[in-house]
Chain A
Amino acid sequence: DIQMTQSPSSLSASIGDRVTIACRASQSISNYLSWYQQKPGKAPKLLIYSASTLQSGVPSRFSGSGSETDFTLTISNLQPEDFGIYYCQQGYGSSWTFGQGTKVESK
């Protein structure tokens, strides 16, 4: 199995901050990497796929980068509705795995 490791596990940030979350794959996954946001009691919401493609309707303050094994999700100008848990997910091969999640909290 391909293991996905996110860092940090949690972070505290203020409105307007620039937030960066890292995701590392245990082997190369090319660009088969997506990012999700989850709010309490809700299903995950797709933000980015193919490492850097913004899903329709997602604000442009969200961006993704990286390839092979190292990826980054950046939220520029953090907004109140951006607090929650963020997951990366690899789509390489025929068995798909998520990172453990990064909780973004209010400072």
Chain B
Amino acid sequence: QLQLQESGPGLVKPSDTLSLTCTVSGGSVGSSNFYWGCVRQPPGKGLEWIASMYYSGRTYYNPSLKSRVTISIDTSKNQFYLNLTSVTAADTAVYYCARLNGNWFYFDSWGQGSLVTVSS
């Protein structure tokens, strides 16, 4: 059974970089037709897709975050990574790792989520 597990810092200072690691088990980030990425949810608010990536290297970014986000994949470790630079309090959220099905572009598997708070 596919599992995704987030590893995050918990607390990040304003203007610093948020780095999230997503570890995949029970499946491969090199699988064809699946994209790997992140969705976030500020406390008490809705869902926002951040970025997704195909194992071949093709990346997709939310236009509103594109200037601050980088996503990457390490197929040898079966992990993918999200970096979000110049964070502010508005970036405080639960960050989810999620698999995107490439046929109809829906998120079919999710991690449990990792709360990241931006505060000094």
Residues of A with Cβ closer than 8 Å to B? Answer: 1, 31-32, 34, 36, 42-46, 49-50, 53, 55, 87, 89, 91-92, 94-101
Residue from B39, B47, B101, B110 with most neighbouring chain A CB atoms (10 Å) = B47
A98 pairs with B60, CB closer than 8 A: no
B108 pairs with A55, CB closer than 8 A: yes
B112 pairs with A91, CB closer than 8 A: no
CA distance A46 to B100 in the complex (A): 11
Contact of A89 among B64, B107, B110 (CB under 8 A): B107
CA distance A55 to B101 in the complex (A): 12
User: Secondary structure of the B side of the interface?
Assistant: strand
Cβ of A46: which chain B residues have Cβ within 8 Å of it? 106-108
Say how far A99's CB is from chain B's closest CB, in angstroms.
8
Bin chain B's interface residue count. 20 to 34
What 1/0 mask marks residues of chain B from 83 to 118 whose CB sits below 8 Å from any chain A CB? 000000000000010001100111110111100000
Cβ of A97: which chain B residues have Cβ within 8 Å of it? 49
Cβ of B60: which chain A residues have Cβ within 8 Å of it? 94-95
B46 pairs with A87, CB closer than 8 A: yes
29 contacts between A and B (CB under 8 A): A1-B63, A1-B64, A31-B104, A32-B104, A42-B112, A43-B96, A44-B96, A44-B107, A44-B110, A46-B108, A49-B106, A87-B46, A87-B47, A89-B47, A89-B106, A91-B100, A91-B104, A92-B105, A94-B60, A95-B49, A95-B61, A96-B52, A96-B105, A97-B49, A98-B47, A98-B49, A99-B46, A100-B46, A101-B47
